[in-house]
Amino acid sequence: DAGVIQSPRHEVTEMGQEVTLRCKPISGHDYLFWYRQTMMRGLELLIYFNNNVPIDDSGMPEDRFSAKMPNASFSTLKIQPSEPRDSAVYFCASSQLIGLADLDTQYFGPGTRLTVL
C-alpha cells in the first residue's frame, strides 16, 4: 500500500480564499483523522471519521472549517475563507479498528503545509 496520501503538499494562498486539502487513507482503514500542527499549539486533532461518518468535530476551530468524507477512500478539509492564522501543517491519518490491540496505530500522511498570506 502507498500509505496515506495527501495533496497538495504545499499550498500558498491569500487571505479570504478557499482552501481544500485532500486525503486518501490506507485501503481498509475505517478511521480517518485530520490534525493541525503549529509551533505554538503542537499537534491538534480537528476531526475524525469512522466509516465515513464524522464522530468528533470538537477540535474544528470555527465554522470556516469543514470536513467531508464522501467515501471510504477520500476525505477533504476545507477552509473558507482562509486567514493568516490558519497557516500550519495539516496532517491526515488513518487507522483500523480502534480499540483492538496492535491495530490502534495511526498512520500519518506527509502533511500539507498551508501558508495564508
Partner 1 sequence: KQEVTQIPAALSVPEGENLVLNCSFTDSAIYNLQWFRQDPGKGLTSLLLIQSSQREQTSGRLNASLDKSSGRSTLYIAASQPGDSATYLCAVRHNYGQNFVFGPGTRLSVLP
Q: Which of 19, 32, 48, 86 binds partner 1 (CB under 8 A)?
A: 48
- The torsion angle over the Cα atoms of residues 8, 59, 36 and 45, rounded to 10 degrees, is -100
Site string for partner 1, 15-44 (x = CB under 8 A): ----------------x-x--------xxx
Q: Does the footprint of partner 1 cover residue 56 (CB under 8 A)?
A: yes
Nearest-approach distance from CB 105 to partner 1, in angstroms: 4
- Residue 57: all three cell numbers together: 468535530
Residues within window 65-104 making contact with partner 1, judged by CB under 8 A = 91, 93, 98-99, 101-102, 104
Side chain identity at residue 22, one-letter code: R
Residue 21 CA to residue 8 CA, distance in Å, equals 7
- Residue 28: all three cell numbers together: 481498509
User: Any residues with CB less than 8 A from the CB of 115 and at least 6 apart, and which?
Assistant: 10, 11, 12, 13, 87
In the complex, the residues that contact partner 1 under the rule CB under 8 A are: 4, 31, 33, 42-45, 48, 50, 55-56, 59, 91, 93, 98-99, 101-102, 104-111
